[in-house]
A and B are shown apart, each in its own frame.
Chain A
């Protein structure tokens, strides 16, 4: 659940999602769920000339399993908090 919470802190921020089929979509993160499915608004394709099929799409849902990377601004991430949360999650996991 760590990254579910992490993505919730990124809601309303600009992110770039790279999919496993190499399409890169830039947009405002609108919502996220436990599978890390994403909803993006105001999207634009980064490599549009290569993949023109999303030109008229303004918002979309991305199935979490198709995501390769999500790029974000470093200013929107509290690194110390994320590291501590990871350690805490590891403790919980190993106690199971």
Chain B
């Protein structure tokens, strides 16, 4: 592989996440959980740190999810299913 980086560098999936730094994202997690928060950091394992976060826990039978607020949280990447930008 060439070491010369051109303008038309192949984009990687994680580049989408890089553009979301300091923006709000929706993270879908294992165990019927979701986390919305401002993305402060991530790595290639999808470990991440979210601020101003809200966790939504969906349980069978309940219409409304349980919501937990947290100011600053580290999420381990092996629980992550998907990460999506939240349209403002």
Contact = CB atoms under 8 A, between A and B. Distances in A.
Interface of A: 2-3, 6-7, 20, 36, 64-65, 67-74, 76-77, 79, 82-83, 85-87, 89-90, 93-95
A70 B21 contact: no
B78 interface: yes
B14 A90 contact: yes
Given A69-B74, A74-B72, A87-B21, A82 B14 contact: no
Contacts of A73: 71-72
Interface of B: 5, 9, 12, 14-15, 18, 21-22, 29, 31, 40-44, 47, 49, 51, 70-76, 78-79
Interface residue SS majority, chain A: helix
B74 A86 contact: no
Contact of B22 (A69, A70, A83): A83
A6 B76 CA distance: 13
Nearest to A82: B41
Contacts of A89: 43-44
B49 A82 contact: yes
B21 A83 contact: yes
A3 to B, nearest CB: 5
B7 to A, nearest CB: 14
